[in-house]
Chains A and B, each alone.
Chain A
């Protein structure tokens, strides 16, 4: 089945220690998104890639970066995680920006 995969499902890091979250897709979609979801809140868009074109949301902190080396993979890098960055991170894909977004299972990040 075509799907969106996120690894790891659970990530524990220390305050200030860089961490990378991974997302891959077998849908061959052009667009990949990263969302941050804190407890009992709606997902918040951090940025997205349309093919290789990176689009950052205006209020996304510089601490968050992303890479998309190819169509299938996209990475979220948190350069210096703070306690406030503890959240669920969701990856999503869509064929076009104007189409349905399909979400992965998420990575739960804990910052100690």
Chain B
């Protein structure tokens, strides 16, 4: 079955520390992959996406993600977290059936 897994429900990091949010997908072929961020009470904002080509993709707000086919992963990274990065992060995969599957989300808390 097609699925997206975000193993970490909640992550806490100190401001200025590096961040990595994990995402794994289960699908027969390589799907299109996305990371979205959602602040409380807000909609989803696209951070970055991977369709093909260079496996390291740059996004907005200093985020990047690396697609690793061998690990079926698309982890999101940021070298130095800011307090304004505190939010819910969703990984999503667009499959051949044209459905966008979301992971369950990772809530990021940033401490001063």
Contact = CB atoms under 8 A, between A and B. Distances in A.
A81 interface: no
Contact of A90 (B34, B43, B99): B43
Contacts of B104: 41-42
Contact of A100 (B34, B41, B98): B34
Interface in B48-106: 49, 90, 94, 98-100, 102-105
Given A90-B44, A100-B34, A45 B100 contact: yes
A102 B102 contact: no
B94 to A, nearest CB: 7
A108 interface: yes
Contacts of A67: none
B42 interface: yes
Nearest to B34: A100
Contacts of A88: 41
A103 B105 contact: no
Nearest to A96: B98
Contacts of B11: none
A37 to B, nearest CB: 9
Interface in A92-112: 92, 97-98, 100-106, 108
A43 interface: yes
Given A42-B103, A45-B100, A103-B44, 14 more contacts: A6-B43, A42-B90, A42-B102, A43-B90, A45-B99, A90-B44, A98-B94, A102-B46, A103-B45, A103-B46, A106-B41, A106-B42, A106-B43, A108-B41
6 contacts: A42-B104, A97-B98, A98-B32, A98-B98, A105-B43, A106-B42
